[in-house]
Amino acid sequence: MQAEPLQVRQGSRTRWVIMGVSGCGKSTIGAALAASFTVPFLEGDAFHPADNVSKMASGVPLDDDDRAGWLQALASEITQAQRDDRGLVLSCSALKRRYRDLLREADPQLRFVHLAGPRELIADRMHQRPDHYMPPSLLDSQLRILEPLQPDEGGLTLDITLAPTALVERITASA
C-alpha cells in the first residue's frame, strides 16, 4: 500500500486578498494570516508606482486610471501563485467590485477578507502612523467609493474591533 502524502494545512494553497480602506489593518492581519498558513505575504502598497504614492502623500485621492496598473501588477502576482499552486496573502484596498473582479480573473478561487469597522477607529489608527504616506484626510474619499464585499464574491467581512488574533482565527476557520 502506498503512503499518503503529508496533509497540507487547510487554506495553505488558497490565494487571499485582505481588503478595506487604509488603516483598517490589512497589513497586520495579512502578515499574521500568511504566517499562520506559512505562505508569502505581499504588501499591496509596495506595488504602487512612485506617482501614485506621491499623489496620495500630497492628499490627492487615486482614480481608476491611477489604480489600473497597480491592480494589474497585483493580478500578475495572483496569477503566478495560482499557476504554481501555492498559497498567497495579499493586502489590497480593492475598494470597488470591479477591482475585485479584475483580481478574481487572475484566480477564480481567490478569497477576500473585508476588514470593516467604525470610521472613528480607522481614523484614529491612521493618526497613529505618522510616517505612512497615506494621510488621514483621504479616509473619507476611500469610504465614499468603497463597495462592500458581497455574499457572491467568495469571502467574508470581519469587524476590526476584534483583536487581530481573533480575526486570523476566524479567517483560518473559514478556510
At 60-117, the pLDDT tens digits run 989 999 999 999 999 999 999 999 999 999 999 999 999 999 999 999 999 999 999 9
- Helix and strand totals (H; E) in the chain: 7, 5
- Is residue 134 helix, strand or coil? coil
- How far apart (Å, rounded) are the C-alpha atoms in residues 87 and 150? 23
- How far apart (Å, rounded) are the C-alpha atoms in residues 175 and 171? 7
- How far apart (Å, rounded) are the C-alpha atoms in residues 10 and 21? 28
C-beta separation of 20 from 93 below 8 A:
yes
pLDDT at residue 126 tops 50? yes
Q: How much is the pTM?
A: 0.90
